[in-house]
């Protein structure tokens, strides 16, 4: 069953790489760039499978790698990101320039786990060890789900009901989440107002449909996309993830250029549309907004609804896994 291994040939080298192999690989990639890993070994004259070459390059030979000990700041960042993302090492590595997923994974298993145990914290659940032991099946199920990123099939079935029916400490921090989202929506409005005040005429124009008072609706037409932030009169907030990504980028650009309105305008005009890999960008965006990952990935172009009260009717969308 399945495909035969890529390196089934008996004539392939395995195990540690020699200096000569490293040099060959580096020289080849310098000349031809990364990619086409399957055909690379033959072209580079290496008796290795493509996977092995890719791994060696990414984890060891890449020039932008940052070797050496992890700093305390990196430790804390890894712990924080792990509490948000679970064992999504590649996502965590993406937030630590120069570090690889493999390196972080190893570091987690050999250092940080012990460090957290010493602090009395369960490294999987990020809860106090005594609490974790007594938390019951509900919380355990959620934590297991949160740390089961690679086994995706069932995680999308997680419902608000399931989350809120588990132990009280595992319940959604609905009020806090709502507050964060409201804050983000307000900032989005501020961005719109700033754009209007600068009276810029960029091609990705801005249209306003309502006032800010009770109902906020921001529509930013960014190249081919429409950004929609909607705040109901009862305080619930909806926003389209793929599109608030653009808002987020605009915010960043504006912050970085707050001293020069001209520069802001120019940069805003060149703001890029959401990338192809929106799935991952949604996760990064939500993290940056302060949301906690609850076990599944945000699907592309979905809408995030936050309910103001845990007693509200359950939602069964995948997006409900963002807490």
Partner DNA sequence: AAGCCGGCCAACCGCACGTGG
Partner DNA sequence: TCCACGTGCGGTTGGCCGGCT
Tokens standing for 138? Answer: 């509900």
Q: Using the minimum distance from each CB to DNA, give the nearer residue, 100 or 320.
A: 100
106 lines the binding site for DNA (CB under 7 A): yes
Cβ–Cβ under 8 Å, residues 163 and 315: no
Shortest Å distance, C-beta 183 to DNA: 29
Q: Using the minimum distance from each CB to DNA, give the nearer residue, 51 or 171.
A: 51
317 lines the binding site for DNA (CB under 7 A): no
Positions 265 through 284 that interact with DNA (CB under 7 A): 276, 279
Query: Dihedral sign, CA of 160, 164, 170, 175?
Result: positive
Positions 146 through 205 that interact with DNA (CB under 7 A): 147, 149-153
Sheet containing 303-306, strands listed edge to edge, beginning at the edge strand earlier in sequence:
206-208, 216-222, 225-231, 237-240, 303-306
Cβ–Cβ under 8 Å, residues 204 and 224: no
Shortest Å distance, C-beta 156 to DNA: 10
**Binding-residue pattern over the window 71 to 90 for DNA, x denoting contact by CB under 7 A:** ----------------xxxx
Q: Which residues pair with 226 in a beta bridge?
A: 221
Q: Where are the beta strands (DSSP E) in the chain?
A: 206-208, 216-222, 225-231, 237-240, 303-306
Shortest Å distance, C-beta 260 to DNA: 36
Cβ–Cβ under 8 Å, residues 230 and 237: yes
Cβ–Cβ under 8 Å, residues 254 and 323: no
Shortest Å distance, C-beta 161 to DNA: 24
Shortest Å distance, C-beta 108 to DNA: 9
**Binding-residue pattern over the window 21 to 50 for DNA, x denoting contact by CB under 7 A:** --------------xxxxx--------x-x
By the 10 Å C-beta count (0-12 exposed, 13-18 middle, 19+ buried), 88 is classed as buried
Tokens standing for 7? Answer: 């390196």
Local structure of 225: helix, strand or coil: strand
Shortest Å distance, C-beta 225 to DNA: 18
**Binding-residue pattern over the window 204 to 233 for DNA, x denoting contact by CB under 7 A:** ------------------------------
Q: Using the minimum distance from each CB to DNA, give the nearer residue, 155 or 217.
A: 155
Cβ–Cβ under 8 Å, residues 152 and 285: no
**What residues line the site for DNA (CB under 7 A)?**
2-3, 5-7, 13-17, 35-39, 48, 50-52, 54-56, 59-60, 87-91, 101-103, 105-107, 109-111, 114, 147, 149-153, 276, 279
């Amino acid at each position: 069953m399945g495909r035969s291994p890529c390196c089934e040939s008996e004539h392939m080298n395995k195990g540690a790489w020699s200096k000569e192999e490293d040099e060959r690989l580096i020289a080849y990639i310098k000349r031809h760039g990364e990619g086409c890993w399957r055909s690379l070994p033959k072209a580079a004259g290496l008796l290795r499978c493509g996977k092995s070459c890719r791994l060696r390059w990414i984890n060891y030979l890449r020039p932008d790698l940052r070797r050496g000990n992890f700093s305390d700041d990196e430790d804390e960042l890894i712990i924080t990101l792990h509490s948000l993302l679970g064992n999504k090492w590649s996502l965590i590595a993406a937030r630590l320039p120069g570090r690889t997923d493999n390196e972080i994974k190893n570091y987690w298993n050999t250092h940080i786990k012990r460090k957290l145990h010493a602090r009395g914290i369960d490294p999987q659940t990020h809860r106090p060890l005594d609490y974790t032991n007594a938390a019951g099946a509900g919380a355990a199920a959620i934590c297991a789900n949160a740390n089961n990123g690679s086994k995706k099939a069932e995680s999308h079935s997680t419902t608000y009901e399931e989350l809120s029916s588990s132990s009280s400490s595992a319940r959604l921090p609905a009020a806090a989440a709502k507050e964060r989202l409201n804050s983000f929506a307000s900032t989005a409005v501020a961005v719109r107002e700033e754009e209007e005040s600068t009276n810029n005429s960029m091609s990705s124009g801005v249209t306003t449909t309502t006032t800010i008072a009770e109902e906020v609706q921001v529509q930013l037409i960014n190249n081919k996309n429409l950004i929609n932030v909607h705040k109901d009169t009862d305080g619930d907030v909806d926003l389209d993830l793929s599109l608030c990504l653009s808002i987020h980028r605009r915010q960043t650009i504006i912050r970085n250029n707050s001293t020069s309105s001209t520069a802001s305008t120019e940069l805003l005009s060149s703001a890029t549309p959401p990338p192809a890999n929106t799935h991952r960008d949604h996760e990064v965006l939500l993290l940056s907004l302060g949301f906690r990952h609850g076990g599944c990935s945000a699907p592309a172009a979905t809408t995030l609804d936050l309910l103001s009260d845990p007693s509200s009717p359950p939602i069964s969308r995948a997006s409900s896994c963002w807490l």
